[in-house]
Amino acid sequence: MTIRDFGLIPGHLPAGPRNAITDVAGVRVGHCTVRSARHNTGVTVILPRPQGQDIYFHRCTAAAHVLNGYGKTAGLVQIQELGQLETPIALTNTLNVGLVCDALVDYTNAACAAHGQTLRSVNPVVGECNDGTLNLIAERAVGAAEVNAALQSASPDFEQGCVGAGTGMICHELKGGVGSASRVIEADGRAFTVGVLALCNHGQLRELNVLGRRPGEAIRRRLQTPPRPEDKGSCILVLATDLPLSSRQLGRVTRRCAVGLARCGSYWGHGSGDIAIGFTTAHDLDREAPCAVQTLEVFHEDRLDPAFLAAAEASEEAVLNALAAAVTTTGYDGTTVHALREFADLLK
């Protein structure tokens, strides 16, 4: 289920055929979900290159932007310094970042061995949100086996909602999770795609804005729950595009993911780790290229406005899709978090 199944169409730009980050050619997404009496958690991976082409040897131009730094994300420093991505991007819960990093190192080590090389350094990129309300997070239920399962399942077609890293997430005090959306823009007779995947675990119910509808207070009256005084949690947004952008330009586009969060009612509270990571598949930064100088196609700076709008619209819809796809979930201690779909009548 997506927000469009509620009869609501976000934005003005056309979506891609899947309306997902995987509308960017070659990009794949995989999940591994851990669900039991004690756990509602998992891991989600975004692979930027098509099957058979490893990201470590065919790196992508990349950028990252921290909206609010209450987070434990790994790998941003090198992305900001070098403007390159050299591993899949993994998303999980807060206390599993280290174990997921280990698994990405092992993944890259195996890729190097297949190329007859020895790995000496790698920058694994892992984003996190805290699912401790619904998941017994201290038991760290996500490790190498779960990461490998997510990598093996990676496909252009993937589930949204309470799956993978989104299994235990809460968004605007409703059940959150993984959501995705895409937008297509044109320049010089060519079509380009901007896609976003959001891991949503942020926001207050009273601030929730669904395309101008403010259902929060009515939902609260039905649930008969007290308001949460703080905006705490996190949202990790991953932006993919095939636009030929420099790292600096990609940073400009990636920062516009914040517009989508704001449209949905987030103000990036003190306790919320809100981070956007972007990459473009347009450049193949070949690790084994024999020449010292590479010539890269770069988009015209003065014509970036449509890309900015695409990032904003795709981010907004990705958050709304995470809410729409989620289902009511009960955690390990009996806490129940209700899904937006229970209140669809309030969105009319």
Structure tokens at 93: 């819960």
Nearest by Cα to 143 from 96, 197, 110, 185: 96
CATH architecture, domain defined by 11-287+294-328: 4-Layer Sandwich (3.60)
Half-sphere exposure (Cβ direction) of 337: Cα atoms closer than 13 Å: 27
User: Is the Cβ–Cβ distance between 6 and 172 less than 8 Å?
Assistant: no
- pLDDT, tens digit (0-9, with 9 covering 90-100), for 267-289: 999 989 999 999 999 999 887 77
pLDDT at 304: 96
Q: How far out from the chain centre does Cα 203 lie?
A: 16
pLDDT by 10s per residue, the chain, length 348: 999 999 999 999 999 999 999 999 999 999 999 999 999 999 999 999 999 899 999 999 999 999 999 999 999 999 999 999 999 999 999 999 999 999 999 999 999 999 999 999 999 999 999 999 999 999 999 999 999 999 999 999 999 999 999 999 999 999 999 999 999 999 999 999 999 999 999 999 999 999 999 999 999 999 998 887 778 889 999 999 999 999 999 999 999 999 999 999 999 999 899 999 999 999 998 877 777 788 888 989 999 999 999 999 999 999 999 999 999 999 999 999 999 999 999 998
Contact 263, 231 (CB under 8 A): no
Contacts of 343 (CB under 8 A, 6+ apart): 215, 218, 219, 222
- The answer to whether residues 241 and 276 touch, using CB atoms and an 8 Å cutoff, is no
Tokens of residue 63, six digits: 């950028």
Selection from 234, 204, 228, 232 nearest residue 216 by Cα: 204
CB atoms within 10 A of CB 225: 12
Catalytic residue list = 234, 272, 274
Q: What is the pLDDT of residue 225?
A: 85
Dihedral angle over CA of 253, 129, 272, 200, nearest 10? 60
- Are 176 and 304 in contact by the 8 Å Cβ rule? The answer is no
Q: Is 167 helix (H, G, I), strand (E, B) or coil?
A: coil
